[in-house]
Structure 1
Amino acid sequence: MTRKYFGTDGIRGRANKFPITPDFALKVGMAAGIAFRRGDYRHRVVIGKDTRLSGYMIESALQAGFTSVGVNVLLVGPLPTPAVALITRSMRADLGVMISASHNPYDDNGIKLFAPDGYKLSDEVEAEIEALLDSDLGPKLAASAGLGRAKRIDDAQARYIEFAKRTVSRNLSLEGLRIVVDCANGAAYKVAPEALWELGAEVVAIGVEPNGVNINRDVGSTSPSALIAKVHETRADLGIALDGDADRVMIVDEKGQIVDGDQLMAVVGSSWAEEGRLSAPGLVSTVMANLGFERYLASIGLTLERTPVGDRYVVERMRAQGYNVGGEPSGHIVLSDYATTGDGLVAALQLLAVVQKAGKPVSEVCHRFEPLPQILKNVRYKSGRPLDDEKVRAAITDATERLGAHGRLVIRPSGTEPVIRVMAEGDDHDLVSHVVDDVVDVITRVAA
């Protein structure tokens, strides 16, 4: 289904340029409020945000839009995306909104919408909202006496901290662990250090001084060098890096080595399997998950379900087939026993529970498999559909045959820019490298 305004993760763009402008955000609030009218009662929406400067502008515009169609607004302020989904459910709201562009720089922003159950909207509901956005909403505005009100929820952060702590055993203590947590100057800058401290850890916090323009700047899960340096400096037991809206996580062990989403899922998945907590005999990840991860799961009797790239597709497969552990190599870890979307803090706490139970260093606990060599290259094109070209299709077929049963080739167009992503992995690094270069060369010539 082709969408006009919504991408794979809500509406996103450069702040104060269409569609992330106050006038369009106003209309998004109006359209979403109208789309989620479910009966003759006062509807409610929860609105959260990360720490971007443009969040104030978008928040105010959305608030005006929702109240203009008679929806009451509950403002929770800076809070992780999973916390907004959680509070939407717990407060029985009709809709949730997160203002964030996740791991992007501060000058981007976005609007993510959640249904009453805390899950991201279906394609059908997004299409309904888009149709409303392109229509005249004037006749659907509330009468003067029916306008909505706005209220700030002052204890939202405390609610989320308590929720996160309850996802681990009451007997779990992080006493004796020195943990560096990097909050990317983003939405979790208060809640993540506080939750870890309340569980007994010695916490060293970085990326906790947001000023509106430094979110994700040289900190966070997409820039782990600051975390690695601080782990070495403080001789910490591990480091935890979140992104701007804290729905993804990256772990650094005591040696300063990065633990990606595949390894993290392997740890949690195998632990839950041993404890009989998996709701299905496998995990869900995307086509980008490492083949070494898939082989490791097979060695312990678990399968790996692969989806297109994007956490929404992971969640859809989990819901459709009854899995309760899924995620992406980038660190979006979805544990559906607790959350409806990726939750970096909850995923980190699940890892810490395994570490404390094992009584071993993080480097030992988190090295479950040896990743296969994986190479990814991007080819930018101007127009057209390069992947439909006969020469490109022939090159892809040849590359797939050369890898055989000892590797994988994944080629996909980007969903956000005119780029073809070419990824291959396999047991033979040189073969993988040659395969990628050969396919990239053909696509480059065709796309020129």
Structure 2
Amino acid sequence: MGRLFGTDGVRGVANSDLTAELALGLSVAAAHVLAEAGTFEGHRPTAVVGRDPRASGEFLEAAVVAGLASAGVDVLRVGVLPTPAVAYLTGVLGADLGVMLSASHNAMPDNGVKFFARGGHKLADELEDRIESIYEQHRTGEPWERPTGAGVGRVRSYKEGFDRYVAHLMGVLPNRLDGLKVVLDEAHGAAARVSPEAFARAGAEVVTIGAEPDGLNINDGCGSTHLDLLKAAVVEHGADLGIAHDGDADRCLAVDAHGNEVDGDQILAVLALAMREAGTLRGNTVVGTVMSNLGFKIAMEGEGIQLVQTGVGDRYVLESMKEHGYALGGEQSGHVIILDHATTGDGTLTGLMLAARLAATGRTLADLAGVMTRLPQVLVNVPDVDKSRVATCAELGVAVNEAERELGATGRVLLRPSGTEPLVRVMVEAADIEHARSVAGRLADVVKSTLG
């Protein structure tokens, strides 16, 4: 069996790759790893379970709840809420674990199971491996001790979760949003109620699109992966900014008043300056990934702020932040982690903080985001190659060195093997888009000829 856990939980086509049986078995295994770790005399382990609005989430939630309760875990069902809300509630309610059913920005047929440990933190690889090991033992027939009678878990709805999470967001907002007009694209996803409520309570005039989930339309032509509708709506309504979430609302991308995209790097730049001004940017450092735009790095260096870069994936950003005590990090894709107020990327919190900066300064989003200039970035996927040889192929190394010398200080080359497919991603940044395309095309040819 290949590794079940990917970069963000267990994900696949619902009822094909991700079945009710798999969801139930994983939940039993997670209960053994995450709940029993905190077992002590008189303690009843508890789990918080939430989901996004996908139709498949209904039966998968039932399977997860059944698995947890059968393992002796009491379950609090919070219903449809964003992933960061489930993480927050797991922590604030003192639960032993949290479970979110979502495939994030993926299309509707997919779904996923994400686990949170005590405190609302994503799992380390070691914990995921232990869960997989126990799941496989049970799947192949090794019996596990099942509680009976009063030992089985009890299940109840926790309807207070919505208000408690929104109140948390209001409690950490540095200032109100009165006078701002905001368009919110909720991707017909988990934040369709939460995000408009939070922005309205904060004083903003709110226009919503993509806020009518029916279980089948999540991420369908809307949200953070499809910004055209939001761009048009911001211009049409004369809004100050637009905010786009993905299906589980752990991402945030923005649109300025002219309909121009503001990506995760630009949002991080704006928030980094705001936090430094407030004295909360610990270590005078922001954490990004190797895919962060070079323009972001140049801008932060110009402001005297250090940029630490990790591997691709918000989990690696978070690991670096926790290890070194940094307060702000994220990805170009819109995963932004404000560690003083959230244990994971929180799209609604990020959008609120960005809007609060506009309200506090009286400046436009275009002006604030202008602190950095995005360098043109070209990404070419080269399929059907031996990705394991990227770091060891001498001829390829020579070509990369030549490209880097050609680009100089205002360009960058990154070759990255795909984590899931037999391909290599060639990323080139340069001051000129045509130059970036030329270099990327040449390198892609070398990758194909040397590793094909």
What TM-score comes out, normalization by structure 2 length? 0.95
Give the one of 333, 348, 353 matched to 2:336.
333
Separation (CA, whole Å) in 2 of partners of 1:210 and 1:416:
30
Give the direction of change, closer, same or farther, for the CA distance of 1:316–1:164 in structure 2 (3 Å limit): same
Q: Is 1:386–1:392's contact at 8 Å kept on the other side of the alignment?
A: no
Which of 429, 444, 448 aligns to 1:440? It is 444
1:401 maps to: 405
1:419, CA displacement in angstroms?
2.5
Q: Secondary structure at the match of 1:221?
A: helix
- Alignment-derived partner of residue 297 in structure 1: 300
Find the counterpart in structure 2 of residue 146 from structure 1: 151
1-side partners of 2:190 and 2:114: how far apart? 14
Indicate the residue corresponding to 2:12 in structure 1.
13
Query: Could you give the per-residue CA deviations for residues 294-329 of structure 1, whole angstroms, max 9, x where no partner exists?
Result: 111111111100001000000000111111000001
Range 348-357 or range 404-413, more displaced: 404-413
1:178 is displaced (CA, Å) by 1.5
Deviation at 1:221, TM superposition (A): 0.7
For residue 121 of structure 2, give the secondary structure of its aligned residue in structure 1: coil
Q: Residues of 2 paired with 1:366 and 1:394: CA distance?
A: 37
What fraction of aligned residue pairs are identical, expressed as a percent? 44
* 8 A contact 1:386–1:446 mirrored in 2: no
1:416 CA drift (Å): 2.6
Please tell me the residue identity of whatever aligns with 2:274: S
Aligned to 1:257: 260
3-state SS of 2:79 partner: strand
Task: For residue 428 of structure 1, report the CA deviation from its aligned partner.
Answer: 4.3
Secondary structure of the residue that 1:410 maps to in structure 2? strand
Question: 1-side partners of 2:231 and 2:134: how far apart?
Answer: 47
Q: Tell me what 1:269 maps to.
A: 272
Deviates more, 1:367-376 or 1:423-432: 423-432
Shift of 1:447: 5.0
Check if 1:89 corresponds to 2:91.
yes
| C-alpha distance 410-364 of structure 1, shift in aligned 2 (>3 A) | same
| Aligned position for 2:180 | 177
User: Contact between 1:178 and 1:201, CA under 8 Å: does it hold in 2?
Assistant: yes
Query: C-alpha root-mean-square deviation of aligned residues, in Å?
Result: 1.6
Report the equivalent of 2:165: 160
| Alpha-carbon distance between aligned partners in 2 of 1:153 and 1:109, rounded to the nearest angstrom | 23
Contact map agreement 1:358 1:365 (CA 8 A) in 2: no
- For 1:410, the equivalent position in structure 2 comes to 414
**AA aligned opposite 1:35:** V
For residues 345 and 353 of structure 2, the distance between their equivalents in structure 1, rounded to whole angstroms, comes to 13
In the alignment, the residues of structure 2 paired with residue 371 and residue 156 of structure 1 have an alpha-carbon distance, to the nearest angstrom, of 39
**CA displacement at 1:51 relative to structure 2:** 0.9
Matched residue of 2:122: which SS? coil
Match status 1:283 vs 2:282: no
Q: Which amino acid aligns with 1:134?
A: E
TM-superposition CA deviations, 1:221-268 (whole Å, max 9, x none): 110101111111111111111110000001111111111111111111
Corresponding position of 1:310: 313
- Residues of 2 paired with 1:342 and 1:275: CA distance? 21
The answer to whether the 8 A contact 1:278-1:324 is kept is: yes
Contact 1:283-1:303 within 8 A present in 2 as well: yes
Partner amino acid, structure 2, of 1:415: G
| Range moving further from structure 2, 368-377 or 182-191 | 368-377
Give 1:435 shift: 1.7
Please report how far the alpha carbon of residue 135 of structure 1 lies from its aligned counterpart in structure 2 after TM superposition. 0.4
- Structure 2 unaligned spans of 5+: none
Return the match for 1:236 from 236, 239, 260: 239
Aligned counterpart, 1:419: 423
1:381 to 1:144, Cα distance in 2 relative to 1, 3 A: farther
Q: Following superposition, which runs of at least 4 residues in structure 1 exceed 4 angstroms of deviation? A: none
Provide the C-alpha distance between the structure 2 equivalents of 1:175 and 1:355, rounded to a whole number of angstroms.
Answer: 11
Q: Is the 8 A contact 2:178 2:359 kept in 1?
A: no
| 1:348-427 map, 5 Å | 348-381=351-384, 385-387=388-390, 388-427=392-431
Partner of 1:65: 67
Choose the corresponding residue for 2:435, options 416, 423, 431: 431
* Corresponding residue for residue 32 of structure 2: 34
- Report the residue type matching 2:146 in the other structure: L
Residue number in structure 2 paired with 1:56? 58
The CA distance in 2 between the partners of 1:420 and 1:441, in whole Å, is 12
CA distance in 2, matches of 1:383, 1:430: 28
How far, CA to CA, are the matches of 1:179 and 1:10 in structure 2? 32
Shift in Å, 1:167: 1.4
CA distance in 2, matches of 1:139, 1:377: 48
1:174-196 Cα distance to aligned partner (Å, 9 max, x none): 22221110100000000100111
Give the TM-score, by structure 1 length. 0.96
Q: CA deviation at 1:144?
A: 3.6
